[in-house]
Structure 1
Amino acid sequence: MTPEAASGASAPASVRRRIPLHTLCALALLLAVGFLARRHWPVLEGGALRLAVADHGWLLVGASAAAGTWVASALAQQGAVPRRLPAGRLVAAQFAAGAANQVLPAGLGAGAVNLRFLMRCGLPAGRAAAAIAVKGTAGALIRGALIAVLAVSCPGAPRVPHVSGAGLAVGAGLAVAAAVVLTRSRCRAALAAVLADIRAVHARPARAAALWGGSLGFVLLHAAVLVAVTRAVGLPLPPGLVALLYLAASAAAALVPTPGGLGSLDAALALALTTAGAPGAAAASAVLGYRLLTVWLPLVPGLVVLGALARRGAL
């Protein structure tokens, strides 16, 4: 075999090695979503038509809640940082981070924007990354607590599925593997830095209140967007149940890190709503409305703000 042929044969293998696994999973999911969308196109079309004649008052409420998520995110990020940040630029950075999050998977876009912003505000790279980790940890704990509370207290909440012994064994194995990873020197040092920052934040009650209050507000406002959209399209589901369905769907979608949850969150939300008894067209219109208010309408303005912040040296 000639050197050229050998290099040509090895090129696909090297390309495959360079492609991350989550990228392949995301592409596979997007293809599956496209296939399902084509197969169920009449349902999606009916959902879009239903959204077009929805109650504009409720849609305005949903839009206001979506705008509030950027303020809540800024409040949580401020709470994770001991020093005071410029409020206006902080909110603008969260708006821009939301747009960047639609481009890169698993929150990498938002994380990169916030990291650059915090470093421009004078934080070292390690401290900026730890502040983002503190904010993410608080958000995850808030979501878990809300799911637990709503699952117990909300009427009509779906029952927790039975977990077999094999499932428990797999979960225990994953927990042990995570513990082994966290005990490695680098991970242990990073974890120690995050814990130190958490202690520093909670030493100042105002910062702790901002962190937890902003994280709670961010989750509740996103749930409020979906509740408002379900009201706008005439979907008679209790607000608490809708909030629980949103939290469960967003947690499931996080397992497949597509950009902005594209495809994964949409499918999980639609499945959750139909499982709760919503007609297919109504569930599709609710998902479309939620995406319209939280992604598509803010996307272009968010990218403009992102470019403006970069030109002014704020990122």
Structure 2
Amino acid sequence: MSVPLDDLAAPAPARASSRRLPLPLSPGRAARRAAVVLPLLAVGAWAAADWRAFRDGAARLASADPAWLLAAGGFTCLGWVAAACVRQGAVPDRLPPGLLLASQFAAGAANHVLPASVGAHAVTLRFLRRQGVPLHRATASLALYSLVKPLAKTPVLLAVLLVFPDVLRLGALLPDRRTLLLAGGCVVLCPVAAVLVVALVRPLRGPVRSFLRTAMTDVRRLHRRPARVLALWGGAAVAPLLQAGVVASVGTAFGLPLTWAQVTFAFLAAGTAMGAVPAPGGIGPVDAALLFGLVGYGAPMALATATVIGYRVLTVWVPLLPGAVVLSVLVQRGAL
């Protein structure tokens, strides 16, 4: 039986037409793929720009006591747990503990790339939204978190002074009068400027009133629940003590001739004085203030510098790449 030539030629175009052509990449998928890769690219760019500091810090840590460095690493890990507790305490909804802790670990990497905690807040906001928290309530929780952290640090400072009154050396640690006046003026003028902007710009009044109503409602709900109060205020009070424990452990590993109370007060004072400066993760201003405080207590400049660099290596550089990987994985799996 003969087959017409037209029939033999027919399957070829049919097979060609049956092949599935690649679908165009949607904007949402493209943004998600970019979000997966961008944290790793940011880490690589920062590593290339500041590789010398990391290399010198790692070389210094190689000569330190490994047992105390291990203790410093433990304090660093507990700091992420404390941050997760504060985040949970700032929102009435129950969040999955494992994902919450992973999001804070990833937020730490983002926080060290962008200034003024913008990176950490952006990651947390996205995480809350993916957990079903409405945008206005998620934003209110970020504002509560930002307010509670400095407020909780004040009683911690006072407690350190009451228990260890000898740690306060006004002549060595406090800045000069001009710096104090400048800081005080900023503290007073910033809220006044914010109120004036809201009062003068009419379109802002409605959203601000709605935001304040939501924030106050959530604050009342949270403070009726003892578990949330403990997580919010307890975590915010413990977090700076854990960070000070990292500094003190690194200092002990290097043989820094200061007590833990002195190092703790120097760290708390440095964070209070310079924490408002919008540097990525507080790097720079807080480091300078901490170095100034340690030297003011009588520590040798070389040991104080090694302590500050070692603290930054353990809290920034060592977790940075794993944090960026976790951030990319969370984005890929849709948790962020």
TM-score category, normalised to shorter length? 0.7 to 0.9
Deviating more after overlay: 168-177 vs 245-254 = 168-177
Unpaired runs of at least 5, structure 1 = 1-33
Q: Which has the larger radius of gyration?
A: 2
Q: Give the CA deviation at 1:161.
A: 5.8
1:219 to 2:240 alignment: yes
Q: TM-score under structure 2 normalisation?
A: 0.74
2:166 alignment partner, SS class: coil
1:229-308 matched pairs, under 5 angstroms: 229-308=250-329
Q: Give the CA deviation at 1:227.
A: 1.1
Per-residue CA deviation, residues 104-160 of structure 1 (Å, 9 max, x unaligned), is 100000000000000000001111111121122211111122223334543132215
1:75-114 matched pairs, under 5 angstroms: 75-114=85-124
Per-residue CA deviation, residues 228-275 of structure 1 (Å, 9 max, x unaligned), is 111111112121221111112122332321112222222222122112
In the aligned structure 2, how far is the partner of 1:104 from the partner of 1:161?
Answer: 27
CA contact (8 A) 1:201 1:208 kept: yes
1:298 alignment partner, SS class: helix
CA contact (8 A) 1:182 1:188 kept: no
Deviating more after overlay: 182-191 vs 53-62 = 182-191
CA contact (8 A) 2:167 2:261 kept: no
Q: TM-score under structure 1 normalisation?
A: 0.78
1:1-315 matched pairs, under 5 angstroms: 50-151=60-161, 153-159=164-170, 163=177, 172-173=188-189, 176-181=192-197, 185=205, 186-315=207-336
2:167 alignment partner, SS class: coil
In the aligned structure 1, how far is the partner of 2:291 from the partner of 2:175?
Answer: 19
In the aligned structure 1, how far is the partner of 2:299 from the partner of 2:252?
Answer: 12
Unpaired runs of at least 5, structure 2 = 1-49
Q: Give the CA deviation at 1:195.
A: 2.4
CA contact (8 A) 1:50 1:282 kept: no
Deviating more after overlay: 91-100 vs 242-251 = 242-251
AA aligned to 2:334 is G
Percent identity between matched residues is 45
CA RMSD of aligned residues (A): 2.8
